[in-house]
Amino acid sequence: MMLANVDVQEYLPFLIPLIILQFVLLFIALRHILTHDTYKRGSRKLWLLITIVGMEFIGPILYFALGKEDE
């Protein structure tokens, strides 16, 4: 499957905000993991792995839904 004939320029208005949002979410999740010692379930290594591997939104969202302790 090639997307060679797709004009990237046309999709930039979609891509730029999505990429920015993705990194903002990743940054918040990583900061939260590193500044907390206990989690609802799992360990720091597990959550770092999940957040970085699934950095396209799904990792940080999983962390905030399942791993973050209620404050």
Partner 1 sequence: MRQLKAFIKKEWMEQFRTNKLLIIMIVSVMMGIMAPAVAKLTPVLFETMADTLAEQGIAGIEVGDVTALTSWQQFYKNISMLVIVFVIMYSGSYTTEYQRGTLINIVTKGMSRTKILVSKLLVQLVVWTMAYVVNFVTTYVYTEYYWDNSEVKNCIFAGVMVYIFGIWVIGLMTLASSIGDTNMSVLLITGGVVAVCYILSIVPDVAEYMPTKLLGAVELLNGAVDVETYAKATIVVVMTYLMTIIGSVLCFNKKRI
Q: Which two tokens stand for residue 25?
A: 């979410």
Q: How many residues bind partner 1 (CB under 8 A)?
A: 20
x/- letters, 27..56, toward partner 1 (CB under 8 A): -x---x------------------------
Q: DSSP label at 6?
A: -
From the list 8, 35, 37, 70, which residue makes contact with partner 1 (rule: CB under 8 A)? 70
The answer to whether the Cα torsion of 66, 47, 33, 51 is positive or negative is negative
Q: DSSP label at 55?
A: T
Applying CB under 8 A, does 64 fall inside the site for partner 1? yes
Applying CB under 8 A, does 8 fall inside the site for partner 1? no
